[in-house]
């Protein structure tokens, strides 16, 4: 996953818990989490993921977890943010706070699933803003997403976050899909 992001923005670590392929169990879990109103799946998998991170060589616990935000319209429709549910599971084991107040999605972008890498980036490049940036100066954060394919979402978020002085980012996604 890290190779997919190399040279696009600076990050400390980029880690996925599982590999996503169409038709595998991971796809089923992701559909339960995102579309079948099962936020508890995200929390439980986030806990399992955190135990794996703790056991990983070189893992350094950051200061804060920030989930990729949903636009308020999509959040209202789904009822919860799947990345936030994963973050809650990570946080409970890693003993870290979760912030949904710093990274805000301002654009209600259309689905990324059928877009090319460039179209995904263009769709998202101005979709996020930072609030209370001074609270993040010199911090190390985990940016959490559910699935990474091209990396356009984490790149768009990271480009905004990295405007903050001394901020370091690690990327944790539940799944990685090529």
Q: What is the 3 state secondary structure string of 49-112? A: HHHHHHHCCCCCCCCEEEECCCCHHHHHHHCCCHHHHHHHHHHHHHCCCECCCCEEECCCCCCC
Q: What is the pLDDT of residues 17-29, one digit of tens each?
A: 988 878 778 788 8
Q: Where are the domains of the chain?
A: 2-176
| pLDDT the model gives residue 55 | 94
Q: What is the pLDDT of residues 49-94, one digit of tens each?
A: 999 999 998 888 899 999 999 999 989 998 999 999 999 999 999 9
Give the mean model confidence (pLDDT) for residues 5-12: 93
Q: Which band of pLDDT confidence, cut at 50, 70 and 90, is reported for residue 37?
A: confident
- Fold (topology level) of 2-176: Rossmann fold (3.40.50)
Q: What span, in angstroms and rounded, lies between the C-alpha atoms of 149 and 165?
A: 28
**What's the pTM value of the predicted model, to 2 decimals?**
0.90
Q: Which band of pLDDT confidence, cut at 50, 70 and 90, is reported for residue 109?
A: low
**Tokens 């809650």 sit at which residue?**
88
């Amino acid at each position: 996953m890290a190779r997919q992001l190399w040279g696009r923005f600076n990050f400390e670590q980029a880690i996925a818990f599982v590999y996503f392929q169409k038709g595998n169990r991971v796809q089923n879990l992701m559909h339960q989490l995102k579309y079948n109103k099962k936020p508890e799946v995200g929390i439980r998998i986030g806990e399992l993921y955190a135990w794996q991170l703790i056991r990983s060589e070189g893992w350094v616990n950051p200061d804060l977890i920030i989930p990729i935000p949903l636009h308020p319209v999509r959040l209202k429709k789904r009822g919860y943010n799947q990345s936030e549910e994963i973050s809650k599971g990570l946080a409970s084991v890693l003993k870290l706070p979760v912030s949904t107040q710093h990274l805000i999605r301002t654009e209600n972008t259309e689905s990324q699933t059928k877009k090319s890498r460039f179209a995904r980036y263009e769709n998202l490049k101005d979709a996020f803003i930072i609030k209370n940036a001074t609270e993040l100066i010199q911090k190390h954060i985990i940016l959490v997403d559910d699935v990474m394919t091209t990396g356009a979402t984490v790149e768009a978020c990271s480009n905004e976050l990295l405007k903050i002085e001394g901020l370091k980012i690690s990327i944790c996604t539940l799944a990685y899909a090529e």
